[in-house]
Each structure stands twice: as structure tokens, then as C-alpha cells.
């Protein structure tokens, strides 16, 4: 049964993890879905509303502080006096894989824009709202969707790894600053290929070699329900058959 | 509602995490509880049976291969043809904190006995049973209760840290060998003081500074329910107010 | 005795580690010292030249690609046909320590500018030169001066930690891409307060609680001399009495 | 030129790293070489003595506390009033690689015996001697030869990984307890195949794909010379072409 009193906000909504997270959190909350292009959030916004949930989409570029500010002004009007229960930062940005000496400034910077700067703007927008909600049934939660690249800087992946390492630093710092204030911050290391339309071309021998985005969403929901005496701040998630 | 068809086994059952894990898994499975001293498992065995669940206790010293072998022979008789759904290794052993040059051989060895050797014997006993059960509703699961000492060797803690580091090595190795075979192996880093009778003397400023064992049990149950496309192999768990 | 045939370049030269590294490498190489403000490199440039070595200073903002490009055009003219033996990226940037919600965009970004973007520009400039010099007595070397903040995101330190985590990602990625091509890349975790004029105010109980910059320089020189069969890619350096 | 006043002790001497470390430290110190079988230390003892250095060999099983005790009683007689400058624990033990369920108790235990228990006995024997020598030219040093298996528990390698993880725990704990007392403790991650007679069968495409033991010895010597304001507690060492 969904309470319409509280909201969840998901940044980075496309056909994969973001949409699944939105669907899962929409079972309990109204959801605000942020993406650069409306085409990315419209199908899932419509789907949730058609199914009796409540969803809105706001076109937002999280790497741009002004865009994030405008998005949250709009969101707070929509929310009225309702509280923010959860915030998921699921923006991954481009995955640039090429020789280091061939990287353009813009390509290198893209990892930071999505995973560092964007995480910063989003966190500064949601944390004041989450801090107001520490008496809710479930502790207010901020989850960052990260990747194996947060743990290991592989050859040819300097841009993405720099961004994901930075995201992990921000997540750790926020967990330590805001945990004692009642906000649950999680760095989620998604280690594997997500099973969506776009990744159909990636063929594996094993039928369960890709991660189901619904399962990630379920894990995120579980993390959100953990009580204050039992916070998980870092979790890894991968298919059983993944090499790591 | 407990299915009597499948079992869970918990090694290291006392008044804290072990008892809570036993209670939680007993909602769905028959449970076998292992501890050196019957006094440690008897109260919880009685409690579960009185509440309509099914529990047995077997006196076992996990650091002794023969004792583990005997325990599992007895357990398999009890199980009949039933399957093993989950195994939790929750043996912590003594926590010895003293100057390194004052450690006796026996004190130093105690960290290994509980966390290395014991984990080995238990894993060798449960894995063949878990491997038979990969078509169950939830993937068969092996969880190791670990500690912050698995991540950092602090001064005066060489024995415990050596044991927990070794446990983490075993957990990682098993996750990589048996994950592709359908068994879910988890290293759970419990970072904080468990809130039980014995730790009442540890006073903290904050009322929620200790970890509730029921919340750990709940996390373990959640981990058990993760599908094969979404395994978590390492998780940390701590109170919101913990310094780390 | 300095060979005038090969050069070393040090970015981030002030009174501490940068100056000591410059002095040490100037025993064997001509050195080019980069800093935003000439006042930062002039004393050490003069000192090295007065002592019979060869040093030049180039005013450079490593976070600005054009500035780095101009600096290396000037440097290559100075070098003539000489080769580049070593490059040390020692730019730390501002250390901002404040509540996350009080961070300005500019303050948050400063960690990345110095440690991410600056490391990128510097690396793109030096790697083509280092790659030409893989037959030298000592493998060509690129060292990043990093910090404990590269390993742990502490509360109130999101900006600096994000930058240093990103720097570590870049260093790892470059070590993996360019190691097999003969370039030695090192991430050096300096864990402690450097013993310089500016840190005199930091009083410790122990007389050796601060890191001597000359000792860091000596370690960097040693790393530079490691042969291709024995590369160290990550090293930590701290005072004996440091807590960690 | 060897000073006969101070000694170094190396446990785990065979034809590879141990012999090279012995040769290097014998340039400055008298050396005591420990190995189970005299055949392992005799050639290098003879070589060092023939070259004008001073070396003795003592047959020792480091996993046996009595054997270690007897060895150090003999050693201290040889040393007379001389001091101990450095101790290198280079015992690796068997590398068992096989399916976990096929491991015998003895095979699993072997990783601990060499890397955990042996490191304990050796450390308890050398630390009291090292602590007497903190005013020497170079801080007294205890180095553990470790491996990549200390950082990652790979499939089929549970025994070796458990031992090396435990060794890392002990090294960290000792570094934190004895660093402030002036003893330099190092965990050295040797990541690659050592280039010795026994590994000739391992063929790689690249001529420098194996680690030269002399280069490891040189790194160990350098670590020994680091001053108290600049201790390295963990270092990795690998061939430039190694995948990691």
C-alpha cells in the first residue's frame, strides 16, 4: 500500500536500473524522476501513473547546479508539505573506453561531471529534505549507483574510474557526516552488465550472466528499510556467474 | 509459516546474533543450531520449538574436524531427505586484546581456530549439501559473520584480526568458486557492538549506538532471498552513529 | 653529479615536498618546476642553479589545459633534444574541510581541479615524452603525490577526498596501460603532516610526528630507480608515530 | 663492507628471494639464515662467507614455536652482544591450488602454518631484539614477504589466501603497535612469478615478465633505510608487464 505522503526522487532514469528503482519505490511513495531528456522518464512516469501510483518527471542536468536547483524548486511545489523518504542517484554518464593519450578534455571530464559534480549537486539538494524526515518509518536514504570501476582503475578507463572513485569518496564522506544525523547513505557497487534492451547484443554463455534491474531495485528497497542500528554503507551486487 | 522440507544450520549460537538468526530462519526452515556448550543453544531451541517451529541443537566444536563431521552425520539423519537452504557461520571465538609480545601461542592461535579452521570445517560440511539445492526458491546461501577486524589489523589485535582476515579470504575464495555453481556466499562485516545482555556494560551516549541482532538477522534473511542475477558477496553493517 | 642530458619535471612546487623532490632529482637531471605563482618556484630554481645544477621555472595552472600546453611547449624548447626521465605531479590544491551543505560549487570543484583535471593534463603532456625514453638507465617514471584521503572519505572532506580518490583511479589506470610500455607509474599515499614552515603551528607530542619532505623525495628517487622487473605502483609513507 | 656489529635474520631461504635478500643485507650485516632444510641455506651461507661476509644457517621450522625458540637461542649466542638490525620473514609455504571440497585438513592448514603461525613465532622472537636497537643508523626493520593472495581470495586458493590475508593482518597490527616504538614493519606484496631456476618452466611472451629476486632484495634494503619520519608500511612490487 503506497503512502502518498512521502516522496522518493530518482536521478538518472532510463530503461534500466532507474526505471526499476522507480517502479519499486512507487509502490510506497510518490516518485519524482529526473533525466536530461523527457523521453527517458516519460514511459515510466506514464506507466506508474496508469498503474495507480504517482509519478512526475523533471528534465534535469545533474551536472549543472542551476538545473538541479530549478528541478528541486519544481519538485518541492509538487510535494507540498510532504516529506522526502529516499533519493537515488543513478546517473552513470558516458562510459568512455579508449587509450589515455586519445582522450579529449571533454571525454575525460565526462566521468567527473556525471559521477562527481552531479552527485554533489544532487546530494546538496536532497540532504536538507532527508534531514527533515528522520522520524519516518524507514530512515531517510540516499543511495548512489556505482560500479566496479569505483574499486579498480583499469587500463583505458581513466575517465569513468576517476568519476566512480570520486563518487565513492563522496558517498563515504556523506555516510560519515549524515549517518549520525539519521540519514542512511549507501554506495552500491553494481558489478556486471544490466539486462536491458540496449545490452541484448552482449551475449554470454550463461543465461543468468546479466543483472536484472528489478533485483537491484529490490536490494535498494531493502537497504532503505534497514533500521538505524543496522545501516549498510557499502554493498556489492553481481550475477552469480560473474568473474571478479 | 515454516516449511519443514528445508533446513538452515547456524554455527555459533549464543544470546546474540546466532539466536536472532536462528529465530529468523526458523520462520521458514527447520533449524539446526551448533555450539560448543548445550547451554548456549538450549534456550533458543526450546523457544523455537515452543513457538511451533522446528529446531535441534548439536554440541559441536567447529575447530575440530571430527566434531564437525559427527555433528553433520547427526544432522543429516535428522534431515532425512530434506535439503539444506542456508548455512550461517557465526563463530567468533575469543577476542584477545593485549600486547603482541604477551600473547601466548594458544591466545594467538585462537583467532585462527574460530575464524579460519572452523570456517573451513563448516564450509566443507555444508557446501556439498548446499550444492544439491540450487533449484530451491532462494539460492542456497552460506554467510560468514565477520567484523571490522577483517579489514584492518589494529594494534593489540593481531590474533583476532588474523582470524577475521583469513575468514574473509575463505569467503571470497568460496564466493568465486561456488557462485557460478549457484551457491551464494557472503562475507558480512559487522562493525559495532551487538546489543545483548553481555554488552550492557558498554555505555554509549547515543541510545542506538549498538547493533540490534534482530536487524542483522533480517539482513541475513534478505541476502538469502537475493536471486542468482543479483548476489551480494560483501556487506557492511553498523549503527548509524558508529565512527568508521 | 647531474647529467644535463635528461630532465625531470615537477608540478606543484612550494616550500615542502615539491622543493625537496626538485633538489633530489636535480642531483641527476635538469629540472623544470611548475607552479601557478613564480614566487613558489623561484627560490628553489635559484638555489639549484647556484649549487651548480640546472633548473627552470614555468608558471603553470595545471587545471587549465592551455596553460599546461604552453608550459610544455616552452619546456621542450629548453630541453632541445634531451629526454624526460621523470615527472612528479605534486599539486594538492586547497584542503577544504567544512560541512557538506556549506560547500560552494567552487569549493567542491577545487578537489577535482587540482587532483583530477590537473593530473589528467599533466599526464597527457608528460606521457608522450616518457614513452620516448624507455631505454634509459632508469625506467621513465610518473609519480603522483597523494594522501590518505585517497583511501578514505572522511566526514567534512568530500571535496578533497573526491579529488584524491580520482587521482588514485587515474594513477591505477595509467600504471596498467603504460607499465607494459615501460613507464613506471606510482600512486604515493603521503599520510601525515609535512614538516615545513607553514605547519610549524601543528604541535605534536612527538618530535618526529611530521614527515620530512627530504625523506619523501628520497623515496621518490628510489622508486624511480626500480627496474622494469620490480615496479612499485602504490606505496604509503607516514611517520613512525602516526595513527592509521 | 659488512659491519660485524649488527645482524640481520632471514627466515625462508631458498634459491629465490631469500637468497637475494641474504646477499644484499650481508653487504652491511652479519646474516643468520633460517630454513627447514640445511640444503636450502648452505649454498648461500657458503657463498657469503667465501665472499668475505659473515653468514650462519640454522635449521628451523618457523611453524613450531620450540624450533624457533631454539634457533634464536643459538643465534643470540652467535651474536654475542651485537644488535639485530633487520628481520625478514620470507616463508611462503606450499601453494595449494585445488577445489575447496578436495582440500585435506593438512592442505588447508598449511597456508596458516607458514604465513600465520610462522609469522607469529618469528615476530615474537625478533621484536624484543629489534626494540633494543632503535638508536641504530637505520630503524630496526621487520619485513614480511607477502603476495597478491593477501589482497584477493581467488577461487581454488582458499588455503594460501587465508594464510596471506592473516599475514597482512599481523603485519598491520605490528606496524601500528611497534611503529611508535621505533620498529619499521612492512607488508610487501610480491605480485608475480619470481625469476629462479624452479620457475624456468613458466614461459611468458615478454622477457621481463618475471620478478628478479635481486630487485626485491634491493627494495627491501631501501625500505630498511627509510628514516622514522617516513616509514612505508605496505608496498607492492610487480613486473612492468604484469596484469593486475
- For residues B2 and C94, which has the higher predicted lDDT (pLDDT)? C94
Mean pLDDT of D166-195: 97
Query: N- to C-terminal Cα distance for chain C?
Result: 39
Whether C62 contacts C68, CB under 8 Å: yes
CA distance A201 to chain C (A): 27
Distances in Å between the Cα of A236 and the Cα atoms of A133, B230, C79, D232 are: 27, 9, 49, 30
Decide if A232 and B219 are in contact by the 8 Å CB cutoff. yes
Per CB-CB distance under 8 Å, the chain A contacts of B241 are 179-180, 228
pLDDT in tens, D40-81: 999 999 999 999 999 999 999 999 999 999 999 999 999 999
Q: From CA C41, how far away is CA C12, in angstroms rounded?
A: 9
Q: In chain D, at which residue ranges do the beta strands (DSSP E only) sit?
A: 6-11, 30-35, 55-59, 83-89, 141-147, 184-190, 234-237
Residue B4: pLDDT band (50, 70, 90) is: low
Residue B220 pLDDT > 90, yes or no? yes
pLDDT in tens, D7-51: 999 999 988 999 999 999 999 999 999 999 999 999 999 999 999
With H, G, I as helix, E, B as strand and everything else as coil, classify residue A222: helix
Residue C135 pLDDT > 70, yes or no? yes
Q: Does D202 touch chain C if contact means CB atoms closer than 8 Å? A: no
Question: Which cell numbers hold the place of A15?
Answer: 530503461
pLDDT in tens, C33-42: 999 999 999 9
Sign of CA dihedral C73, C79, C84, C85: negative
Cα D84 to its chain centre, rounded Å, is 15
Q: From CA A144, how far away is CA A135, in angstroms rounded?
A: 22
With H, G, I as helix, E, B as strand and everything else as coil, classify residue B244: coil
Q: Which residue in the set B105, B165, B173 is minimally distant from D100, CB to CB? A: B173
pLDDT in tens, B133-192: 999 999 999 999 999 999 999 999 999 999 999 999 999 999 999 999 999 999 999 999
Q: Does A187 touch chain C if contact means CB atoms closer than 8 Å? A: no
Mean pLDDT of C86-93: 94
pLDDT at D3: 45
Rg of chain A over all Cα atoms, to the nearest angstrom: 17
Counting Cβ atoms within 10 Å, is residue A197 exposed (0-12), middle (13-18) or buried (19+)? Answer: exposed
Residue owning grid cell 563463530: B91
pLDDT in tens, A76-107: 999 999 999 999 999 988 899 999 999 999 99
Q: From CA D135, how far away is CA D123, in angstroms rounded?
A: 20
pLDDT at C202: 84
pLDDT in tens, D183-235: 999 999 999 999 988 888 888 888 899 999 999 999 999 999 999 999 999 99
Q: From CA A87, how far away is CA A11, in angstroms rounded?
A: 8
pLDDT at D5: 80
Q: From CA C137, how far away is CA C3, in angstroms rounded?
A: 12
Q: Does B184 touch chain A if contact means CB atoms closer than 8 Å? A: yes
Q: From CA D52, how far away is CA D2, in angstroms rounded?
A: 8
Residue A2 pLDDT > 50, yes or no? no
Whether B84 contacts B18, CB under 8 Å: no
Decide if C127 and A155 are in contact by the 8 Å CB cutoff. no
Q: From CA B146, how far away is CA D138, in angstroms rounded?
A: 38
Neighbors of chain A with 3 or more C-beta pairs under 8 Å: B, C
pLDDT at A3: 45
H helix or E strand, kind and range, residue B214: helix B213-225
Cα D215 to its chain centre, rounded Å, is 14
pLDDT in tens, A209-226: 999 999 999 999 999 999
Residue owning grid cell 560483501: B234
CB atoms within 10 A of CB B193: 15
pLDDT in tens, C183-237: 999 999 999 999 988 888 888 888 899 999 999 999 999 999 999 999 999 999 9
- Angle at which helix D17-26 crosses helix D38-50, to 10 degrees, equals 30
Residues in chain D: 244
Share of chain B above pLDDT 90, in %: 89
Q: From CA C72, how far away is CA C185, in angstroms rounded?
A: 20
- Angle at which helix A213-225 crosses helix A17-26, to 10 degrees, equals 50
Residue owning grid cell 633460517: D34
Mean pLDDT of A2-9: 76
Residue C129 pLDDT > 70, yes or no? yes
Q: From CA A133, how far away is CA C124, in angstroms rounded?
A: 46
Question: Which cell numbers hold the place of D122?
Answer: 618469528
Question: Which residues, in sequence order, are CB contacts of A86 under 8 Å at separation 6+?
Answer: A8, A9, A25, A29, A138, A140, A141, A142, A143, A224
Counting Cβ atoms within 10 Å, is residue C135 exposed (0-12), middle (13-18) or buried (19+)? Answer: exposed
Decide if D242 and C139 are in contact by the 8 Å CB cutoff. no
Q: Does D104 touch chain B if contact means CB atoms closer than 8 Å? A: no
Q: In chain B, at which residue ranges do the beta strands (DSSP E only) sit?
A: 6-11, 30-35, 55-59, 83-89, 141-147, 184-190, 234-237
Residue C131: pLDDT band (50, 70, 90) is: very high
Per CB-CB distance under 8 Å, the chain D contacts of C182 are 240
CA distance D136 to chain C (A): 15
Per CB-CB distance under 8 Å, the chain A contacts of C109 are 117
Query: Residue C152, CB half-sphere, CA atoms under 13 Å: how many?
Result: 11
- For residues D86 and D93, which has the higher predicted lDDT (pLDDT)? D86
Q: Does B142 touch chain A if contact means CB atoms closer than 8 Å? A: no
Instruction: Give me chain B's average pLDDT, please.
Output: 95
pLDDT at A4: 52
Q: Which residue in the set B139, B230, B236 is minimally distant from A219, CB to CB? A: B230
Residue A5: pLDDT band (50, 70, 90) is: confident
Residue B92: pLDDT band (50, 70, 90) is: confident
- For residues A15 and C156, which has the higher predicted lDDT (pLDDT)? C156
Sign of CA dihedral C124, C233, D137, D217: negative
Q: Which residue in the set C184, C206, C238 is minimally distant from D231, CB to CB? A: C238
Query: N- to C-terminal Cα distance for chain A?
Result: 39
pLDDT in tens, B76-91: 999 999 999 999 999 9
Residue A1 pLDDT > 50, yes or no? no
Query: Residue D120, CB half-sphere, CA atoms under 13 Å: how many?
Result: 32
The structural domains of chain A, with segments of one domain joined by +, span 6-237
pLDDT in tens, D88-139: 999 988 899 999 999 999 999 999 999 999 999 999 999 999 999 999 999 9
Distances in Å between the Cα of A140 and the Cα atoms of A18, A85, A118, A175, B144 are: 19, 5, 20, 12, 28
pLDDT at D94: 86
Residue C62 pLDDT > 90, yes or no? yes
Helical residues (DSSP H) of chain C, grouped into ranges: 17-26, 38-50, 65-79, 105-112, 118-131, 158-178, 213-225
Distances in Å between the Cα of B71 and the Cα atoms of B91, B122, B133 are: 15, 10, 20
User: In chain A, whose CA is at the least distance from the CA of C178?
Assistant: A155
Closest CA to B152 of A166, D175, C162, D158: D175
Q: Span D6-237: which CATH code?
A: 3.40.50.720
Per CB-CB distance under 8 Å, the chain D contacts of B127 are 100-101
- Angle at which helix A158-178 crosses helix C158-178, to 10 degrees, equals 150
pLDDT at C4: 53
Question: Which residues, in sequence order, are CB contacts of B39 under 8 Å at separation 6+?
Answer: none
Whether A96 contacts A107, CB under 8 Å: yes
Closest CA to D211 of D191, D233, D227, D228: D191
Mean pLDDT of B206-226: 95
- Angle at which helix B118-131 crosses helix B158-178, to 10 degrees, equals 20
At residue A7's C-alpha, the angle toward residues A12 and A20, to 5°, is 40
Decide if B215 and A232 are in contact by the 8 Å CB cutoff. no
φ/ψ of A224, rounded to 5, equals: -60, -30
Q: From CA B111, how far away is CA B65, in angstroms rounded?
A: 17
Counting Cβ atoms within 10 Å, is residue D139 exposed (0-12), middle (13-18) or buried (19+)? Answer: buried
Q: From CA A170, how far away is CA A187, in angstroms rounded?
A: 9
Closest CA to D236 of C188, B170, C181: C188
Per CB-CB distance under 8 Å, the chain D contacts of C138 are none
Mean pLDDT of C152-160: 98
Rg of chain B over all Cα atoms, to the nearest angstrom: 17
pLDDT at C92: 84
Question: Which residues, in sequence order, are CB contacts of C113 under 8 Å at separation 6+?
Answer: C63, C93, C163
Pick among C135, C193, C230, C235 to test the D interface (most D CBs inside 10 A): C230
Whether A48 contacts A54, CB under 8 Å: yes
CA distance C50 to chain A (A): 37
Q: Does B68 touch chain D if contact means CB atoms closer than 8 Å? A: no
Residue C15: pLDDT band (50, 70, 90) is: confident
Amino acid at each position: 500500500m503506497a503512502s502518498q505522503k512521502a516522496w522518493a526522487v530518482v536521478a538518472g532514469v532510463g530503461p534500466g536500473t532507474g526505471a526499476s528503482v522507480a517502479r519499486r519505490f512507487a509502490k510506497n511513495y510518490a516518485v519524482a524522476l529526473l533525466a536530461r531528456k523527457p523521453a527517458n522518464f516519460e514511459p515510466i512516469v506514464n506507466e506508474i501513473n496508469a498503474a495507480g501510483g504517482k509519478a512526475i518527471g523533471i528534465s534535469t542536468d545533474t551536472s549543472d547546479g542551476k538545473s538541479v536547483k530549478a528541478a528541486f524548486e519544481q519538485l518541492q511545489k509538487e510535494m507540498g508539505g510532504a516529506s522526502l523518504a529516499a533519493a537515488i542517484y543513478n546517473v552513470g554518464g558516458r562510459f568512455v573506453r579508449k587509450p589515455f593519450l586519445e582522450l579529449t578534455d571533454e571525454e575525460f571530464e565526462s566521468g567527473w561531471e556525471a559521477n562527481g559534480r552531479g552527485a554533489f549537486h544532487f546530494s546538496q539538494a536532497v540532504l536538507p529534505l532527508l534531514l527533515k524526515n528522520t522520524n519516518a518509518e524507514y530512515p531517510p536514504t540516499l543511495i548512489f549507483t556505482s560500479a566496479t570501476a569505483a574499486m579498480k582503475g583499469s587500463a583505458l578507463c581513466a575517465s569513468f574510474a576517476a568519476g566512480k572513485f570520486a563518487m565513492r569518496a563522496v558517498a563515504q564522506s556523506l555516510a560519515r557526516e549524515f549517518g549520525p544525523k539519521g540519514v542512511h547513505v549507501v554506495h552500491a557497487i553494481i558489478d556486471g552488465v544490466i539486462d536491458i534492451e540496449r545490452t541484448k547484443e552482449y551475449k554470454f554463455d550463461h543465461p543468468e550472466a546479466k543483472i536484472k534491474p528489478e533485483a537491484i531495485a529490490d536490494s535498494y528497497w531493502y537497504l532503505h528499510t534497514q533500521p538505524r542500528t543496522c545501516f549498510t554503507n557499502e554493498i556489492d551486487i553481481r550475477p552469480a556467474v560473474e568473474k571478479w
